Amino acid sequence: MITGLQNFRDTGGTPLTDGGTTRSGVLYRSEALSGLTSDGLAQLARSAIGVIADFRTPIERGMAADVVPDSRPFRMVELPLLEGALTGMAQQATVADDPEAAKAAIAAAVAQIPSLGDLYVSMLGQGAASFARLARLVSAATDDPPTAVLVHCTAGKDRTGVAVALMLDAVGAERSAVVADYSSSAANLAGSWADRMRAMVAGMGVPLTPAVDTLLTGTPPEAIEQALAWVDARGGAAPYLQSGGLSDGDLAALRARLVV
């Protein structure tokens, strides 16, 4: 646990199709690190995490910069992907110079995004290089801490959710376990974080329909299942990551690093 983060967790312990589990203390996931408390900073400093990979855009990072301990160095890696959902967009709109333009942009985005699953497929279509780079970061880690990787975006549910699903699937995790890990983010984000996102959108006059609420705060299993089905149709997670530049050696190292 890291105090100040609602969606933080270790991906270790995920069951594998061939038996065993993924290794703990290697790959972590969370929402943005802008809300860390003093206790959370101390916990992060004591952790095995040495690399922080951030899928947010420069605008998102400028609005809510990661807070990290100054007691030891962290390697900060920027892997910007276009918005995974409305979370980052909602934050940007609250500080826009033209509120009416921001409202119109959000409304247009809502009208053009039919489902999270379709959004993830679009993300996969253009993000192979970024996802492959994350895989290389994980594969390059050693057993000498602090070298574990923490990956995050704004909510830690969409860009991060797809990325972690790819990492786990590529090393042979049980599909049901991959889906369950993705799906757990909605419960983790329920409460103050989700309410804040809803308030941002409602404050701009955008109707908070069930579809919009799912885009903001949801992690329905069928969304990641659709994304993984798209990957399966192209050979699977490992070939997909290789299409983004992951080498055979990198893939072998990823499996050695994540599989107990």
* pTM to 2 decimal places: 0.90
Give mean pLDDT, residues 70-80: 95
**Encoding tokens for residue 81?**
């992907």
Would you state the pLDDT for residue 203? 81
The answer to whether 80 and 111 have CB atoms below 8 angstroms apart is: no
Low-confidence winner among 50-64, 141-155, 243-257 (lowest mean pLDDT): 141-155
Are the beta carbons of 140 and 247 closer than 8 angstroms? no
Q: Which of 29-33, 42-46, 61-65, 133-137 has the lowest mean pLDDT?
A: 61-65
**219 CB neighbour count, 10 Å cutoff:** 25
What domains sit in the chain, N to C, each tagged with a CATH number? 9-258 (3.90.190.10)
Whole-angstrom distance, CA of residue 115 vs CA of residue 33: 27
124 has pLDDT over 80:
yes
- Of residues 12, 3, 1, 33, the one with CA closest to residue 153: 33
DSSP characters over 104-121: HHHHHHHHH---HHHHHH
Over residues 183-200, the pLDDT tens digits come to 999 999 999 999 998 998
Cβ atoms of residues 162 and 227 within 8 Å: yes
Say yes or no to pLDDT of 165 above 80: yes
